[in-house]
Structure formats: structure tokens, C-alpha cells
Amino acid sequence: MFDLPTESLGYFVLYLVTLVLHVVVMNYVVAGALMVAGAAVYRLFGEYCQATRTMVSVVKDWLPLALGVTITLGVAPILFVQLLYKHAFYTANLLLFHRWMAILPVLIVAFYLLYLQKTKWLEARGKGLQALVAVGVLAMFLFVAWSWSENHLLSLAGQETWTEQFAAGRWWHQTAELPPRLSLWMIGSLATFAVLLGWQLMDTADKQTVGRLSLTALSGAGGAVLAAIWYAVVLPESVTKALQQPWPLALLVVGGVGLAGFVASWGMIAKSGQLQTKWMISASASIGLAIIAATLLREVRRYVALVGVEQWDAAVRDTQQAAHTQGLGVFLLFFVGNAVVIAGIIWNVRKRLMQSENQTS
């Protein structure tokens, strides 16, 4: 994978960097929606504790912005995927047809429902409707995640499967890899979510809240390991062999070290009952290391599937030509500009929330 021409390798690095940023915020959205929906359903049968109430309140406030940031950060990796894997990516898009395009209206509806979740109007309409909205949002996010995973796996399936898919007129692509792959990303999102929410609650979290966060983080890490093992069992033999090469094995070790550091950090946080800065930094660095390793390992699966196909050499040539169009400077300008704007919005919102809390107290 790292034997690509310089131009292709440069785009590949940019793709990985932007994808990791997208994944981090996406994890907050997915796991946040899961927590809000779970809490809303639980409330149908009984009241939850103050710690859960605090966490749900914060997440509800931030989910709309987090979804907007997730979508914004997802634009760049999609562009780089089209540069690097154009033929396979476009083919999967066309074969899934309307099913694939349905993610756009679904995301739009989910976006507005996230705002509805925050309103006093919905709070006054009873627990049943609140649970229905929360579960609906989660279902929409699950549909989008499922669609992306399905599209990705179909893009790797090869010409024979593509021809069969087109001839059958199917809008779905079922494969043994889909459930474990989707489980890995969904369950693993809890670990990243716990870190991000922990930073949000640094100044206010009591011991009970820290316990809930620790449980969320460790459950996400443990569940991700189980899902990864399940995924490894169903991977094609060619991919399994590729993962046994020196640098993929090194990535597995790096990811394992990151995960071990993450578990150890949250173990210390749970033991102390406090969100101590040193352990939060350690947990953040550790999960970051694990995400980077997982993202690179994810590309091994794609590289093995596509490197030998007829269109691969043409795709590499197209990427080399694209590198000479002088668009990189424009991309970096807007990337940095968007990053500054998003950071400014987050800082301003956090400042206003803190001022509101101070006035209330």
C-alpha cells in the first residue's frame, strides 16, 4: 500500500488524516444518539439517575452541531476516495441506486429531529413521543452507517459480483462482513464518545457521572475487541494473509497498545472517581492511536481487493494527473478556514453555556 507513486501516496495520507477527523466526531454523534435513545426508552419504565440526566442533557445540546461538523468533515475523505478509488466507488454508488441516495433525505430529517429533541415543546408532549423521536434518530443514523458499510463492501466485491448485482436489480448487498464491520464501528464509537463527553464534563462531573463514563468507555473498548475478532473470522483468506505481513502486524500491535493504554487510563479514572486531566490526556492519546491504527488496517482490506483489478493502474494515473491541477492549495486554504470557523463556533457555544449555567446557579 505504501509503494504507491508519490502523488497517490500524498492523496492517501490526506485521505487518512481527514477520515480520522471525521470518524472522531462521527463517533460522538452515533454513540450520543445511542445513549439518548437508550435513556428515553428507559424513562418509559422508570426515572434514571442524576448522572444520566446530566449526560443526556449535554449530549442533546451538542448533537445538532456535532452532526453538522461530522458532515462537513466527511466531505474531504469522500473527495479523496473518488480520486484514489474512483471506479470501484462510483460502481457501488450506481448499483445501490436510490437506496444509496436515500441517506441524504434521511440525514436531513435526522438533523431537524435533533433540534426537536432539545425543545421545551417536545418535553411537554410526554415520554412516549420523546422516546419515539430519540429512537427514530438512532434508527436513521443506523441506516446511514449500514448504507456506507454496504457501499464500501460492494465497492470491493469485484466485477463478477457487480455484474450479478446489476442483472438482479438489487438495491442491497448482503455479505458476511457487514454485521461485524458495522458492529465494530458502532460499538467502538462508545469509547471515543466517552472521552469527548468526559472533556465536556471535566468541571462538573461527580463520582457517579465518572462511573457512568468509565462504564461507557470500557464497554466500548471491550465490545470493539469482540467485534474485531468476529470480523477477522469472516475476512477473505487473501486479506488474512496480507494482515500477517510485517507492517500490518505492526499496526495491530500499535492499535493494541493504544487500546491497552485507553483501558488503563479509564481504569485509573474509575478508581479515583475524578476526571483527572493527566488520565484524560492519556485516554485521548490512546484512543487516537487506536483509531489511526484501525483506519490504516481498514485500508488493507480495500488495497487487497482493488490492487489487482484492471482499473487500478488507470486510477493511479488519474491520481497523478490530478496532482498537477494545482488544487491542493485551495483545499488546504478551505480546510484550515473551516477548522477555524468550527473551532470558533464550539468555543463560543461552550462559553455561552458556561455563562448560562453561572447565571442559573
Residue 6: band (very low, low, confident or very high) from pLDDT cuts 50, 70, 90:
low
Give 291-295's long-range contacts (Cβ < 8 A, gap of 24+): 291/20, 291/23, 291/24, 291/192, 291/258, 292/16, 292/20, 292/254, 292/258, 293/251, 293/252, 293/254, 293/255, 293/258, 294/188, 294/255, 295/16, 295/19, 295/20, 295/23
What pLDDT score does 65 carry? 92
pLDDT digits (tens, 9 = 90+) for 81-113: 888 888 889 999 999 988 889 999 999 999 999
d(CA 135, CA 112): 14
The whole-angstrom distance between residue 95's C-alpha and the CA centroid of its chain comes to 24
> Higher model confidence: residue 132 or residue 3?
132
Q: What would the mean pLDDT of 190-200 be, rounded to a whole number?
A: 97
- Grid cell digits, residue 342: 468550527
Tell how far CA 69 is from the center of its chain: 12
User: Across residues 149-170, what is the average pLDDT?
Assistant: 91
- Domains in the chain: boundaries: 6-324, 327-356
CA–CA distance, 34 with 48 (Å, rounded to integer): 15
Q: What is the pLDDT of residues 265-314, one digit of tens each?
A: 999 999 999 999 999 999 999 999 999 999 999 988 888 888 766 566 66
Top pLDDT among 326 and 261 is at 261
- Taking the C-alpha atoms of residue 185 and residue 309, their distance in angstroms, rounded to an integer, is 27
Give SS3 for 356: helix
Task: Give the pLDDT of residue 324.
Answer: 66
Distance between CA atoms of residues 139 and 220, nearest Å: 19
- Does 322 have pLDDT greater than 70? no
| Cα distance between residue 125 and residue 162, in whole Å | 48
